[in-house]
Structures are given as structure tokens and as C-alpha cells.
Amino acid sequence: MKVNLLEFDRQGLVAHSATMGERAFRAQQLMRWIHREGESDFSRMTNLAKSFREKLEASAEVAALPIISDSTASDGTRKWLLASGGGNAIETVFIPEVNRGTLCVSSQVGCALECAFCATGAQGFNRNLSVAEIIGQLWLANRELGAIGPDAPEAGERVISNVVMMGMGEPLTNFRNVVTALHVMLDDHAYGLSRRRVTLSTSGVVPEMDRLARECPVALAVSLHAPDDALRDRLVPINRRFPIRELLAACNRYLEHAPRDFVTFEYVMLDGVNDSVEQARQLARTVAPVPCKINLIPFNPFPASGFRRSPSEAVRAFRDVLQQSGLVVTTRKTRGDDIDAACGQLAGQVQDRTRRVIRRLQGVQ
């Protein structure tokens, strides 16, 4: 079986090239061909020695997951459904905006954390994605969007300027593969993204937050969604292992290493559940110890979720209370909901290994 070179960061590519008798600078050239040029045909990598290209042709490949479907929403948001084997599929979303383009990348097939309001979690969990399957989403999106190759925009005009690890899965429970992929995103011989322009979203896996701070600190977003432990235990079950007090302490430790001087707390607005004025006051008190920004997210419905989106008046009242408390607050604009590409809607196709779906159906019956 051929080795997929998307599996390697620069250090790994140097080591792999050394097994073929090649020096480190050749691996760097190869990395630039793969990630900067989006090239998968070794014969076109013209500054590599012919003997090296022949070795690569015989033993290696550059291959992202196959595209099952490619959908574009009325607002320009684009979603790819990618086959990940065994009847599974993941989703990747590109969100174009006036001054930036953001790619939302998945880290797992499904998710094991069972957040109550998330379509991905409702489908169960199958497996972690490999490094090649994670970074391959960025590699493929750049090719599909015409962002690399001979017809690419001028230097400095990136089509994908930001990456958010906010797709299917909890990135920190696939720690090693995610961090290796992050290294490729940040590498100047690959995509050269700033740490400030790569954001990892976590539900609050505290030990791995500390590891990320040490190994590859990027911008951090935390899925909070409740002002107190009792409610967060229901909405974000990992809170039972790492309650809010521990989570906030981890956020402050992370900020000692982070490229930004604040953490973003994500808060999905659920009608009659977490959106009252009193809960806004409580939230302001809860997050006060952490330099932060609050991102209010309209709930995006999916079948049998059991939740409703908070009315716009409730969102405004909630926001006003937070702002009056001195917090920076944004309300996320829903993008791509007509193709189920909005926040919390990514579902793909998951052959659940946890039997969660069966247990849930049995409970309903």
C-alpha cells in the first residue's frame, strides 16, 4: 500500500524522505509542492530530482477523501460530503465573507460527547480521522476553490484565510492527529496560516487543553452553552467530568500561551432553556474571571432535536445584559442553513459504534 504524504508534517516528511536517501531540503520542496501548489502528480514536481520522483511514484500518493456531494447555499456557503470508508462520510464547510474565507474542518466521524443540541453528537461516533483525512480537507478545499495552482489569486489574496476546527467531532479527543494537522496549517512551507487565524473549538476536555497550550497554542473557542453546572451537565455531558470552575481555570492557563488575549465562549441560544435575562446575568458572573468574548449562536434545528431557536427578541435582551456587564458580545450570523451547513447541523453519515442511537430509540419507545 502506498504511503499518503498528507499524513506528515514537515518533521515527518523529512524523516520519511530520509528513508529514501533524500536530504531535508528535498522534503521541504516536496511539502511546498503538495500544500502550496496542491500538486498530487509527482512528475510535475520539476525541481525534485528525477530519481526522487520515481521513488515517490512507486511508493507514495497524495490523496484526500473522495467527494460524495458538493453543495452551495444561497449565501455562497459551500459544503462537501466526503466518503471516509465503511459507509461513513464527513462534512467540510467553506464560509465566504467580504474580508475573509473560513474553512470549517472535521476531526472525527461523528462525536462521542453527546452534546444535547448537536446533530453530529446525535448520530453517535465511529472513529477518529487520520492526519491525512484532517489536513486533506484543507488541501481539497483549496483545490476545489481554485485557491492554489496556476490560476490561483495573487499572493496575499488567500481564498481560505481562516480555519476553524469546529466541524464534526471533538478535536481534543483526537489530540495527536489534530495537532499534527495544525502544525501543517501553520508551517510556512505549507499553508503558513497565523496562529490567530486557526481556531480550535472544544467542549472542555481540560487535560488536553493544557497539552494544546504546551504543544501548539492556537486561538481557542470553548462550547459553554450554560451559566451553571446543573444546566451544563444536561447540555454538555463532559461537564460532569470537568465542571465549569475547572474549565475556566484551564482557560486562564491556556491564555498564558495563546496567540490571542481572550477565549471565545460559544453559547447556543435555546428557547426557554438557557436564554433568560437572569441566566444572562448569571453567565456574566460566571465568566468574569476569564478575559473573553461571548459568541451567541442561534440554534439551528435538526430532526428530533427537542429544542427550538430562541426568538430574536430574547437573543437581543440576553446580549444587552452581557454588554451592560462589560462583556464583548457577538451574535453569529446563520450561514448555509438551507444546505444543513450551519453551526450544529453537520451530520455526514455515521455508522455508530457506541450504540447510542439504538439506546436513544429504545428510551423513546
Can you tell me the distance from the alpha carbon of 240 to that of 237, in angstroms, rounded to the nearest whole number? 6
Angle CA(315)–CA(321)–CA(323) in degrees, nearest 5?
Answer: 100
Task: Yes or no: say if 93 and 114 are a contact pair by the CB < 8 Å rule.
Answer: no
3-state secondary structure of 334: coil
Query: Which stretches of the chain score pLDDT less than 50?
Result: 341, 344-345, 356-365
For residue 158, count other CB atoms closer than 10 A to its CB.
17
Residue pair 263/255 in contact (Cβ under 8 Å)? The answer is: yes
- The per-residue pLDDT for 305 is 79
Which domains does the chain show, CATH number per domain?
Answer: 3-61 (1.10.150.530), 67-364 (3.20.20.70)
Could you tell me the pTM of the whole model? 0.91
Adjacent-strand bridge partners of 266? 223, 295
What is the pLDDT, as a whole number, of residue 235? 96
Amino acid at 156: G
Active-site residues, by number, are 91, 343
Return the H-helix or E-strand segment holding 280.
helix 277-287
Quote the pLDDT of residue 300: 84
Residue 74, pLDDT score? 87
